[in-house]
Chains A and B, each alone.
Chain A
Amino acid sequence: MNSELLQFGGSLLAITALVALAHWLGFSRSARLESEEAARQLLALAPGGFPVAALALAADGAGAIARSRDGRLALLRPHGGRFIAQPLPPETLLEAQGETLCIHTTPRIALQLGQEAQAWAQAGAQRPVAAR
């Protein structure tokens, strides 16, 4: 039993060292969207598909919001070094604060959309319940 505990402890130490090394080598950066095309490709892989009708990329590439041809909204949210496509149900509050669009999901996310922030906040408010 003791040797097994020792092995477990050793492995735990090795794991900590490897993760520290990964961090030290710079592998803790957040994901960045390179282009609208990349965002479209990621959205197409969302469960159920998401044919994009309109799309806005955050200025820093830290996310995107999109509307599908059938009126649904979805968010591309960074998760570590990759993105997650997250559907935004009609009850999700979208709020423009200057040039920032605040999306009240858990966790909350803010996209730097410039001039477009207002329009997306309105699009969020005007979604038909049928889009549910």
Chain B
Amino acid sequence: MPFDPVAFAIPLFVVLVIAEMLWARRRNPVAYESRDTATSLAIGLGSTVAGALTGGVVAGTLVWAHSVSPISLGWVWWAWPLCFVLDDLAYYAFHRSAHRVRWFWASHVNHHSSQHYNLSTALRQSWTGFFALTFVFRLPLAFAGFEPGMILVCGGFNLIYQFWIHTESIKRMPRWFEAVMNTPSHHRVHHAVNPRYLDKNYAGTFIIWDRMFGTFVAEDDADPIRYGIVSQLGTFNPLKAVFHEWAALLKDLWRAPWRHKLSYLLREPGWTHDGSRETSDMIRARWERDKLDS
């Protein structure tokens, strides 16, 4: 890839993490945890290695898809904003699948493995996204005639945008901004394990997709957010964070009766053929029941 905007943004990430730490020390000392931050940064570094190793194949696949497409939009200026918005829609589709299909969840879960929510959490990026074939969500853009380089640059800027929203230091942005854009408030909801918030707010840059497709929930200040995953990891080992769900998936696939194996692969996390675990929908239903009882 000729130009990777994310590589240039890394110094900015470092400066903002330091600024947020200084804010946290005075205003919210539990926002950071040094070992948790070490894990986040180690996972972030590992993900750049994984990205460097597999980036060529991803770019090559996009080039191939673009070459077989009858359309080529070239580098006209208006293709840029269009590409960014459509890539963000593709991100929404990817991200929703990442939470609703166990195969994709296995590669995405490490982004959610921290019980903290700060700018360092944003760097918990996937190592196994390429292996899980998550780049197929980008292919439709290349088939639609967008330049592969343009798609990758737009994806890079989308990722950079998503960095700053991983913070508790910003309560709410102006109303118009909260209506259109993904914000710290909306994305805190996405990282929450509170039943009302599970599997909501999949947006990358624009929150409009969640509003359009019915997956939007606003943050309720009366319900303090707890971050992480339903079964909290309980370890700071980055390798556990990255690979634990792959291991669990393999174990389930091995044990499951043949007619259920595909369901373990493709159904939502928490699904079991014997109902021995809970999906996010089951957790939400239990929570609604408990609310009525009390």
Q: Taking beta carbons and an 8 Å cutoff, which residues of A are in contact with B?
A: 4, 8, 11-12, 14-15, 18-19, 21-23, 25-29, 31, 41-42, 44-45, 47-49, 51, 77, 79-82, 84-86
Residue with the highest number of chain B CB atoms closer than 10 Å, among A4, A41, A82, A85: A82
A23 to chain B: which residues have CB within 8 Å? 34
Is the Cβ of A47 less than 8 Å from the Cβ of B277? yes
CA distance A31 to B35 in the complex (A): 13
- Shortest beta-carbon distance, B109 to chain A, in Å? 15
B230 at the interface (CB under 8 A from A): yes
- Shortest beta-carbon distance, B238 to chain A, in Å? 11
**Which single member of A8, A14, A18 contacts B37 (CB below 8 Å)?**
A18
Is the Cβ of A11 less than 8 Å from the Cβ of B34? no
**Which single member of A11, A27, A45 contacts B194 (CB below 8 Å)?**
A45
Chain B interface: which size bin? 35 or more
Is the Cβ of B38 less than 8 Å from the Cβ of A79? no
Subset of 25 A-B contacts with CB under 8 Å: A11-B45, A12-B45, A14-B14, A15-B41, A18-B14, A19-B41, A22-B32, A22-B33, A22-B34, A22-B38, A25-B22, A26-B25, A27-B24, A27-B37, A28-B34, A42-B226, A45-B226, A47-B231, A49-B283, A49-B290, A79-B115, A80-B236, A81-B30, A81-B36, A84-B232
Q: How many A-B residue pairs have CB under 8 A?
A: 94
Known: A22-B21, A42-B226. A82 touches B45 (CB 8 A): no
Q: Taking beta carbons and an 8 Å cutoff, which residues of B are in contact with A?
A: 10, 14, 17-18, 21-22, 24-25, 29-30, 32-38, 41-42, 45, 48-49, 52, 115-116, 120, 193-194, 224, 226, 228, 230-232, 234-236, 277-278, 283, 286-287, 290
Is the Cβ of B45 less than 8 Å from the Cβ of A49? no
Known: A79-B232, A84-B234. A15 touches B45 (CB 8 A): yes
Which residue of chain A has its CB nearest to the CB of B223?
Answer: A41
Known: A47-B231, A49-B290. A15 touches B38 (CB 8 A): yes
B36 to chain A: which residues have CB within 8 Å? 80-81
Which residue of chain B has its CB nearest to the CB of A28?
Answer: B34
- Shortest beta-carbon distance, B157 to chain A, in Å? 21
Is the Cβ of A82 less than 8 Å from the Cβ of B14? no
- 12 new A-B contacts, CB < 8 A, other than A18-B17, A31-B30, are A12-B45, A21-B21, A26-B25, A27-B21, A27-B24, A44-B290, A48-B278, A79-B234, A80-B236, A81-B30, A82-B33, A82-B232
